[in-house]
Amino acid sequence: MQPDVTPADVTGIVANPFYAINIAPVLAEPHPPLISEQEWITANIKLIEDLGPKAYLQNLVSILNGNYPTAL
C-alpha cells in the first residue's frame, strides 16, 4: 500500500533543489540529479506564480531545514 501523497508533498518535492543539483558536499552526498537545473527552474517559476513569493520562500526554507517527504 502506497502512502497518500498530498499537494504539500508534491510542492515539497518540486521545490527541493536536491533533485536538480548536487548540493555542496558538506551538506549532502553527491548523487545523480533526477531532473535538469532548467526543468527545476521552470517548475519553480510556476510554483512561485501559484503560491506567491512569500509562501514559496517559506516552503523553500522549510525544505532546507529538512522538512520534506522522504518515502513516496
Mean pLDDT of 31-55: 94
pLDDT at 72 over 80: no
Indicate the pTM of the whole model: 0.76
Higher pLDDT pick, 38 / 8: 38
State the chain's mean pLDDT as an integer. Answer: 86
pLDDT at 60 over 70: yes
What was the pLDDT predicted at 2?
59
Tell me the C-alpha distance between 43 and 26, whole Å.
26
